[in-house]
Chains A and B, each alone.
Chain A
Amino acid sequence: MRDAVLIKIEPRPEPSRVMRYCSPLLAALLMLISGLIIFTLLGKNPVEAFHAFFVEPINDFYGLGELCIKASPLMLIGTGLAVGFRASIWNIGAEGQLAIGALCGGAVAVYFNQSSSGFILPAMISAGAVGGMLWASIPALLRTKFNANEILVSLMLNYVAILLLAMLVHGPLRDPDGYGFPQSVLFGESATLPIMIEGTRLHVGVLLSLAGVVAGWVFLEKSFTGYQIRVAGGAGRAATYAGFEYNRLIWIGLLAGGLAAGVAGVMEIAGPIGQLLPSVSPGYGYAAIIVAFVGRLHPGGIFLASLLMALLYLGGESGQMNLDLPSAVTGIFQGLLLFYLLAADFLVNYRIRTKSSQQEGN
C-alpha cells in the first residue's frame, strides 16, 4: 500500500462563474510572466524592461491620455464585434471596416477642407459609420443570401479595403501641394476632434467611444434583441431559431461591428493622425478581436481589456525608445494573451482535483 496523489479532471456540473471572471486575470498574469521571460531572453534586465514596458508609458498625465487614445478604438470596436461574436457570427473584418470608415470620413474632410462649419465633424463621423456598415453588409449579404462563410469574406475584404484606401490616397485624395507624398491635406480645425485636456492629445472622441460601450451594454444586456442574440449563441441555436430570425441576427451582428469600426476609423484620422494616410491603423481591427474575447464579450470587460491592450501598444513604443526592445514584441504579447485566455477557460467548465488516496502498490 502506498499513498498516491491523484490529479483528476472532471467536468463541472455548472460552468463556474468565478472562473469566468478569473480566467482573463489569470491570462493577463501569465502574459506578464511570459513577458519577463521574453525580456530576459532578449538579454534585458527583466525588472527594468517591465518598468519601461508597463509602467513608464503611463506614469504621467500625457501617458494616461495616450492610453485612453489607444484604448478608445479598441473598446468601441470590441463592443461592436461582441454583438456578433455573442451570436457566433464571426466578423474578422473590422480592420477593413475601419479603413473604409476612415476613407469615407476623410473624403468629407478633404472635400470641405475650406469650410469651418461645425457640421463637418458630425458629417465625417456619419460618413464613417455608413461606410463601415456598408463594408460589413457585404459579408452579411453574402452569408444570408448565399451561405458564404462570413469569416473568410470579411477577412478578404480587409485586404481589399486597405488597398482601396491606399489607391485613393495615392490618387484623388492626395494633397496637391504635398510634393507627391501619398497623404491628404492636413485637416483644418473644423475637421479635427477637439482636445479635452491641455498638454495631452486626449480628444473628445474618447467620450464617444465610452458612449458606444454604454450603448452596447444597454443593447446587449437590456434589449430583447440582445436577449435573442444570447440565446442564438447558445448551444441549440438551429433548434431555437428559424432561418429568417437568425438571418436578422447575422445582419445586426455584422452591422454593429461595421458601425463601430467605421466610427473608430474616423476618430483616428480626425484625432491623433489629423489627415488621411495609406495606413490608418496599427492592427486595431485584429487587436479588438482579442479585446472582445478577453473582455468576455461583455462591454464592461471589454472596457478593461481595451486598457490592457492599449498599454501593450504603448509599452511596445516605450520599450523600443528606452531599451531598444523591438516593438514587434507587442504582437507576441497580444497573441499570447489570447492563447492564455483560451487555455484558462478550460477551468470554467472543468475542475482539477488532487486527492490523496490509498492505492494498491505493486
Chain B
Amino acid sequence: MDLSLVLHIMVAAVAAGTPFVFAALGELVTEKSGVLNLGVEGMMLVGAITGFIAMAKSGSLLLAVVSGMAAGAAMAAVFGVLTLTLMANQVASGLALTIFGMGLSAFLGLDYTSFALPGVAELHLPLLSDLPVIGPLLFSYDVLVYSSVVLFVAVSWFLYKTRAGLLLRGIGEAPESAHALGYNVIGIRYLAVLFGGAMAGLGGVYLSVAYTPVWVEGMVAGRGWVSLALVVFATWRPLRVMAGAYLFGGITIAQFHVQGFGIEIPSQLLSMLPYIATIIVLVVISRDQQTIRLNSPASLGKTYHPENQ
C-alpha cells in the first residue's frame, strides 16, 4: 500500500468519525450528570433534516448548524420534561424519542428526498494545508471537523478543570449529596440533557450537510446507537470517545475500500461491519465489570427528584 492511499483512508476515517464525536461527546456530558438518554438516534435524525432544510433554503452553513442544534435541543427538552420533571422511566422515554424522531424526520424530509446540497468546502489554511503528509492529514477538513476537535478540548476542560464540571460529575455520582449542599440537581441535569441534544443535532447536521449532503430517510443509520455504545466503550472518558469515534469512522469507510481492492464480497455483508464491530467492542469492554462499575456515573439511568427523597 502506498502512502497516499493510507493517508486517504485516514482522512476519510476522521470525516466518517466526526458525527460520532459530536453525538458521543454530547451524550457523555448528559450521562456524566446521571441521565441516560437513549434517544440520540432520534435527535440526530431531527437535527439532520432541520439543518438540511435550513441549508437548502438559506445556503448558510451557520444557519444550518444553529437550527440543527436547536432542533436536537428541542427534542432533548421533551425528554427532559418526561424524565426530569414527570419522572418517567429513562429507557422508555429515550426509545420514545428515537421512534418519534424517525417519524418526524421522515415527515419533515418528504419534499427533500434525494435532494442534493453542494456540501461544505474544506478550509485551505495557508502554508499548513500545503505541508506534505501533515497537510492532508491534519489540515484538509471542513470547519465542522475542526469544531468537533474544539468541542473535545472544551468538554475535557469543562469536566476536569472547572468547578462546574466537578459539580456536574458530582451530581452524576450522588444527586442526593449535591441537593443537600443546596445545588439545583434537576436544573443542572436539564442543561446537560439540552447540551447532549444540541450536540446530537450537530452530529446530524454534519452528516446531512457535509458528509453525505443528500437527504435520505433514516440516513443516520444507527450512528446514534453506535454513539451510545462508544460512551460505554470509552468508559465515560472524552479522550477515549475521540479514539473510538475515529476507529468507528475507519470501520465505516473500510467497506468502500475492501471493494476497491477487488475483493468479491456482497455489499450488505460489508455494511454489517460497523454494527458487528459495535457488538464486539461492547462485549470486550463489558466483560470487565469492575472497570464499568468504577467509571460509570453511579446514578446513571436512575430517576431522581428531591421531593421524592
- Pick the contact of B95: A92, A147, A156, A160 (CB < 8 A): A92
CB distance from B219 to the nearest CB of A (A): 13
Whether the pair B279, A156 counts as a contact (CB closer than 8 A) is yes
- Which chain A residue lies CB-closest to B276? A160
1/0 per position for B30-50, CB-CB distance to A under 8 A? 000000001000000000000
Q: Given known contacts A289-B99, A328-B107, A331-B107, is B287 in contact with A339 (CB within 8 Å)?
A: no
Name the residue in B92, B104, B308 with the highest tally of chain A Cβ atoms < 10 Å from its Cβ. B92
Q: Report yes or no: A290 in contact with B110, Cβ–Cβ below 8 A.
A: no
The 3 closest A-B pairs by CB, nearest first: A331-B103, A335-B100, A167-B268
A335–B87 CB distance below 8 A:
no
Cβ < 8 Å to B, chain A residues 205-263: none
Residues of B within 8 A of A156 (CB): 222, 225-226, 229, 275-276, 278-279
Q: Which residues of A contact B38 (CB under 8 A)?
A: 151
Contacts of A146 in B (CB 8 A): 283, 286-287
Q: How far is the CB of A326 from chain B (nearest CB, A)?
A: 5
Q: Is the CB of A346 within 8 A of B86?
A: yes
Say whether B275 contacts A346, CB under 8 Å. Answer: no
Residues of A within 8 A of B82 (CB): 339, 342-343
**Which chain B residues border A326 with CB–CB below 8 Å?**
107, 110
Does A159 belong to the interface (CB within 8 Å)? yes
- Our pick among B88, B110, B226, B276 for the contact of A343 (Cβ within 8 Å) is B88
**A293: Cβ under 8 A from any B Cβ:** yes
Q: Restricting to A126-170, which residues have a CB under 8 Å from any CB of B?
A: 142, 146-149, 151-153, 155-157, 159-160, 163-164, 166-167, 170
Given known contacts A148-B279, A149-B232, A164-B272, A332 and B95 CB-to-CB distance under 8 angstroms: no
Complexed CA–CA distance, A149 and B289 (Å): 12
For A332, the chain B residues whose CB sits under 8 A away are 100, 103-104, 107
A306 at interface by CB-CB < 8 Å: no
Interface assignment of B254: CB less than 8 Å from any CB of chain A: no
Contacts of B58 in A (CB 8 A): none
B144 CB-CB contact with A under 8 Å: no
Q: Using a CB-CB cutoff of 8 Å, which residues 210-243 of chain B contact chain A?
A: 221-222, 225-226, 228-229, 232
- Flag whether B180 is at the interface (Cβ < 8 A): no
Contact B95 A289 (CB under 8 A): yes
Contacts of B91 in A (CB 8 A): 90, 151
Say whether B282 faces chain A, with CB atoms less than 8 Å apart: yes
Q: Is the CB of A152 within 8 A of B228?
A: yes
Q: Are B93 and A149 in contact (CB under 8 A)?
A: no
- Please state if B268 and A286 are interface contacts (CB–CB under 8 Å): no
Whole-angstrom distance from the CB of A28 to the nearest CB of chain B?
A: 15
SS of A interface (majority): helix
User: Is A178 interfacial (CB 8 A cutoff)?
Assistant: no
Task: List A residues 1-30 near B (Cβ within 8 Å).
Answer: 9, 11
Q: Measured between alpha carbons, how far is A333 from B106 in the docked complex, in Å?
A: 13
State which size class the interface on A falls in: 35 or more
Docked CA distance A149–B31 (Å): 15
Question: What separation, in Å, do the CA atoms of A164 and B226 have in the docked complex?
Answer: 19
Check A113 for interface membership: any CB of B closer than 8 A. no
Question: Quick one: closest A residue to B87, CB to CB?
Answer: A346
Q: Please count how many residues in chain B sit with their CB below 8 Å of the partner chain's CB atoms.
A: 47
A311 on interface, CB distance cutoff 8 Å: no
Whether the pair B276, A342 counts as a contact (CB closer than 8 A) is no
**Which residues from chain B sit less than 8 Å from chain A, CB to CB?**
38, 78, 81-82, 86-89, 91-93, 95-97, 99-104, 106-107, 110, 221-222, 225-226, 228-229, 232, 266, 268-269, 271-272, 275-276, 278-279, 282-283, 286-287, 289, 292, 307-308
Pair B107/A142 contact, Cβ less than 8 Å: no
What A residues does B88 contact at CB under 8 A? 342-343, 345-346
Contact check: which of A159, A170, A333 meets B272 at CB < 8 Å? A159
Chain B residues with CB below 8 A from A329, complex form = 103, 107
Q: Among B86, B103, B232, B266, which residue has its beta carbon within 8 angstroms of that of A171?
A: B266
Q: In the complex, A146 Cα to B268 Cα: how many Å?
A: 28
A336 within 8 A of B: yes
Also in contact, A159 and B275, with CB within 8 A (given A148-B283, A331-B103, A343-B88): yes
Contacts A92-B95, A148-B286 aside, 13 further interface pairs with beta carbons under 8 A come to A147-B287, A148-B283, A149-B229, A151-B38, A152-B228, A153-B282, A166-B268, A326-B107, A331-B100, A333-B103, A338-B99, A345-B88, A346-B87
A11-B307 Cα distance, complex, nearest whole Å: 9
Give Cα distance in the complex from A179 to B279, angstroms. Answer: 37
> In the complex where A157-B279, A167-B269 touch, is A349 in contact with B87 (Cβ < 8 A)?
yes
Contacts of B269 on A, CB cut-off 8 Å? 163, 167
Query: Are B87's CB and A164's CB within 8 A?
Result: no
Whether the Cβ atoms of B222 and A335 lie closer than 8 Å is: no
Q: A152-B278, A335-B96, A346-B86 are in contact. Are A328 and B283 (CB under 8 A)?
A: no
A334 and B99 form a contact (CB under 8 A): yes
Query: Most chain-B Cβ atoms within 10 A of its Cβ — which of A149, A163, A335?
Result: A335
CB distance from B254 to the nearest CB of A (A): 15
Which A residues are in CB contact (< 8 Å) with B307? 9, 11
The verdict on A72 contacting chain B, using a C-beta distance below 8 Å, is no
Q: Smallest CB–CB gap between B297 and chain A, Å?
A: 15
Q: How long is the Cα–Cα vector from A333 to B89 in the complex, in angstroms?
A: 20
A335 touches B287 (CB 8 A): no
Q: Give Cα A325 to B232, complex, Å.
A: 41
- Is A330 in contact with chain B by the CB < 8 A criterion? yes
CB-CB < 8 A to B110: which residues of A?
A: 326, 328
Count chain A CB atoms within 10 A of each CB in B87, B107, B110, B268 and give the residue with the most.
B268
Residues of A within 8 A of B279 (CB): 142, 148, 152-153, 156-157
Chain A nearest CB from B216 CB (Å) reads 14
Contacts of A160 in B (CB 8 A): 272, 275-276
Q: How far is the CB of B24 from chain A (nearest CB, A)?
A: 13
Contacts of B232 in A (CB 8 A): 149, 152
Given the complex of chains A and B, what is the CA–CA distance between A160 and B274 in angstroms? 9
On chain B, the residues within 8 Å of A11 by CB distance are 307-308
Q: Is the CB of A338 within 8 A of B100?
A: yes
